[in-house]
Amino acid sequence: MHYPFWELPIGYGVLMASAAVLHVFISHFAIGGGFFLVVMERAARKAADTARIEFLEKLSRFFVLATLVMGSLTGVGIWFVIGLLNPAATAVLIHNFVWGWAIEWTFFLVEILAAILYYYGWKRMSPANHMIMGWIYFVFAWLSLFVINGIITFMLTPGAWLVTGNIWDGFFNPTFWPSLVLRSAIAVMLAGVYALLIASRCQPEAFKVRMVRQTAGWGLLGLAAALPSLYWYWRAIPSTITAAALQGLPTPMRALQYSFWSAGALAVLLILFGLIVPRRLHLSLAVVIMVAGLGWFGSFEWFRESIRKPFVIEGYMYGNAVEVRDADTYKKDGYLSQIAYRSGDDGADLFRHACGSCHTLQGYKALKPAFDGTDRAFIAAMVQSVHLLRGNMPPFLGTASEAYAIATYLEAKLDPRPLSVIYGLQGAKLGEKVFQIRCGKCHPMGSPHDKTSELAGLSPQDYQELLNNAAGLGPGMPAFTGDETERSALIAYFQTLKTGGGK
């Protein structure tokens, strides 16, 4: 509320994901790749294997170009992006962990220089000194991960910090160690997967087979270590968070599911084309393997981000930058009195600060299609009971008139035609749509809040009565404010419901 709001048509989630995904892919590769290079170099030097040394030199050029430039700048990019999208949360992190970041910066200085000297030193340094440089690079790259891991995991599991405010409680939080092991394993996996790109183009064939087997082995080793550590990570997340996700948060569970599929696909591909028929591994297949690896890692990051909702810092700050400690102030004075930068349109300002960090009108997580054909009273009721939706939305802590102002702002942007016209539906089909829009946001079928079994088998009069008294049925229930056509259609739809739930 203390900062201006950047109105971004693509949505905050899309921008954040595109910056973060790219960076985590490269930064983890930077760690695992460093380890891979120096271990492989040691083996190659011991065996006086010049072909392998040439391969590693080639790989190090790709490595330096990818990690030094992209890695460091996408890292700065994430920092820019979080500062622009959620400056309040960024400020909390910086104020608590500035020395952590500063320490990481000193590691980064060493890491960058070591990478440059390692790359330029292949033919200029003695093998022993060159490997010293490689080890320095790897150790400091991993130390960077050590520090950043503490800050990232803090956001999901701040642990005792919420009570003590002590930096060490926040840093060595419940998921710190499992996440560190998991990310280290991912770094090893990515090193193998990226190196396959270069190995797939090696000549002659016998050499290629050897390189492909070795690099695929790295990928499999990393993957094998990552899977149990993912389980450890899951177990370290407080059960209140995981239970809520299992019960009603589809996004993190879907992400977890994708991660299992990608891990399976990656394992099969690595075993088949990496170990069994390495001759067949062409560049295109190596790209597919890399995509599977990145898909697995990306799904994990998606899971981590989405399970944290509705918070950006668990238990401390909501995704829309509202601090939990300020909740009473907002409830008493409303949001508007706290919004420092105003555009002159109260409804728009309230929408931006209360909803805009996750939702757009027509882009990512669009609200227009979700509310087209509805009315101000319905939207205001939804805003006020937003925390009851799926458990991943922050509560609306403003006043009733502010909720109404948001509804007024939104209504002006919506399609004003009735749902029957917008969707060209009639009867029970229209009723199903009305249900989806007016009821399904809180009561989706198959969810713990599914009410279809209780609705099935009642008489039309019962349904009429139900809709007449909808607002009194439970906390947060909005009154039914649809027109007569929608009401009849909804009742027609209710009549199609079967006892036991569903249609």
Partner 1 sequence: MTLPDSRFLPAPLWVITALHIVTLSLHFAAMNFVLGGTLIILTGRFKRRWENPTVRRFLALFPSAMAATVTLGVAPLLFLQLVYPRQMYSAAIVSGWFFLLVIPAVMGAYYLFYAASFSGKEAASSPARFLWPALCGLLYVSLVYSSVFSMAEHPDLIHRLYAQKQTGWQWNPDAGNYLLRWLHMILGAVAVGAYFVGLLGKDDPETFPVAKRLFGYGMAGAAASGFAYFASLKEILVGLMRTPAIWALFVGVLLSLGSLHFFFVRRFFYSGLALLVSLVLMVTARQELRVLRLQGQFDPASWRIAPQWFPFLLFLVCFAGAAILIVYMIRLFFRSHPDSL
Among 14, 21, 53, 167, binds partner 1 (CB under 8 A): 167
Position 384 contacts partner 1 (CB under 8 A): no
CB of 107 to partner 1, least distance (A): 7
Binders of partner 1 among residues 134 to 153 (CB under 8 A) are 136
CB of 314 to partner 1, least distance (A): 12
CB of 428 to partner 1, least distance (A): 43
CB of 28 to partner 1, least distance (A): 19
Position 129 contacts partner 1 (CB under 8 A): yes
Nearest CA to 427 out of 491, 376, 384, 357 is that of: 491
Name 162's Cβ contacts closer than 8 Å, sequence gap at least 6. 315, 316
Query: Cβ closer to partner 1: 231 or 341?
Result: 341
Binders of partner 1 among residues 171 to 230 (CB under 8 A) are none
Q: Is 416 helix (H, G, I), strand (E, B) or coil?
A: coil
Binders of partner 1 among residues 95 to 114 (CB under 8 A) are 95-96, 98-103, 105-110, 112-114
What is d(CA 476, CA 387) in angstroms, rounded to the nearest whole number?
A: 9
Query: Cβ closer to partner 1: 280 or 342?
Result: 342
Query: Cβ closer to partner 1: 249 or 322?
Result: 322
Position 425 contacts partner 1 (CB under 8 A): no
CB of 238 to partner 1, least distance (A): 15
Binders of partner 1 among residues 343 to 372 (CB under 8 A) are 343-344, 352
Number of residues near partner 1 (by CB under 8 A): 71
At CA 143, angle to CA 139 and CA 144, rounded to 5? 120
CB of 73 to partner 1, least distance (A): 5
Among 30, 44, 59, 133, binds partner 1 (CB under 8 A): 133
Query: Cβ closer to partner 1: 4 or 369?
Result: 4
Position 57 contacts partner 1 (CB under 8 A): no
Q: Considering only the stretches 124-132, 185-193, 391-399, 453-461, report the one whose residues sit in contact with partner 1 under the rule CB under 8 A.
A: 124-132
Q: DSSP code of 366?
A: B
Q: Considering only the stretches 118-126, 253-261, 289-297, 435-443, report the one whose residues sit in contact with partner 1 under the rule CB under 8 A.
A: 118-126
Position 336 contacts partner 1 (CB under 8 A): no
Query: Cβ closer to partner 1: 140 or 493?
Result: 140
**48 Rama class: left (phi>0) / alpha (psi -120 to 50) / beta:** left
Among 87, 295, 363, 476, binds partner 1 (CB under 8 A): 87
Q: Residue for token digits 């509202």?
A: 322
Alpha-helical regions (H) of 47-166: 50-64, 72-85, 87-120, 127-156, 161-164
Position 125 contacts partner 1 (CB under 8 A): yes
Greatest alpha-carbon pair distance for the chain in Å reads 90
Position 92 contacts partner 1 (CB under 8 A): yes
Nearest CA to 89 out of 310, 300, 287, 252 is that of: 310
Position 62 contacts partner 1 (CB under 8 A): no
At CA 258, angle to CA 186 and CA 228, rounded to 5? 40
Position 240 contacts partner 1 (CB under 8 A): no
Among 17, 39, 53, 132, binds partner 1 (CB under 8 A): 132
H/E run at residue 317: strand 317-318
* CA–CA distances in Å: residue 122 to residues 115, 294, 431: 11, 29, 71
Q: Considering only the stretches 70-78, 273-281, 378-386, 415-423, report the one whose residues sit in contact with partner 1 under the rule CB under 8 A.
A: 70-78
Q: Are 31 and 67 in contact (CB under 8 A)?
A: no
* CA–CA distances in Å: residue 160 to residues 47, 150, 304: 51, 14, 20
What is d(CA 437, CA 369) in angstroms, rounded to the nearest whole number?
A: 9
As to burial, measured by CB atoms within 10 angstroms (0-12 exposed, 13-18 middle, 19+ buried), residue 197 is middle
Query: Cβ closer to partner 1: 97 or 296?
Result: 97
Q: Considering only the stretches 79-87, 178-186, 296-304, 456-464, report the one whose residues sit in contact with partner 1 under the rule CB under 8 A.
A: 79-87
Residue 209 corresponds to which tokens in the numbers above?
């087979």
Residue 354 corresponds to which tokens in the numbers above?
């209360």
Query: Cβ closer to partner 1: 79 or 364?
Result: 79
CB of 331 to partner 1, least distance (A): 16
In sign, the C-alpha dihedral spanning 403, 408, 410, 411 is positive
Query: Cβ closer to partner 1: 91 or 209?
Result: 91
Binders of partner 1 among residues 287 to 316 (CB under 8 A) are 315-316
Query: Cβ closer to partner 1: 115 or 181?
Result: 115
Q: Considering only the stretches 47-55, 123-131, 408-416, 454-462, report the one whose residues sit in contact with partner 1 under the rule CB under 8 A.
A: 123-131
Position 261 contacts partner 1 (CB under 8 A): no
Query: Cβ closer to partner 1: 112 or 230?
Result: 112
Query: Cβ closer to partner 1: 139 or 272?
Result: 139
Position 10 contacts partner 1 (CB under 8 A): no
At CA 15, angle to CA 12 and CA 21, rounded to 5? 125
Burial 110-135 (b: 16+ CB within 10 A, else e): bbbebbebbbebbeeeeeeebbbbbb
Q: Got the DSSP string for 437-490?
A: IIITTTS-TTSTT--HHHHTT--HHHHHHHHHTGGGSSTTPPPP---HHHHHHH
Q: Got the DSSP string for 169-192?
A: HHHT-TTHHHHHHHHHHHHHHHHH
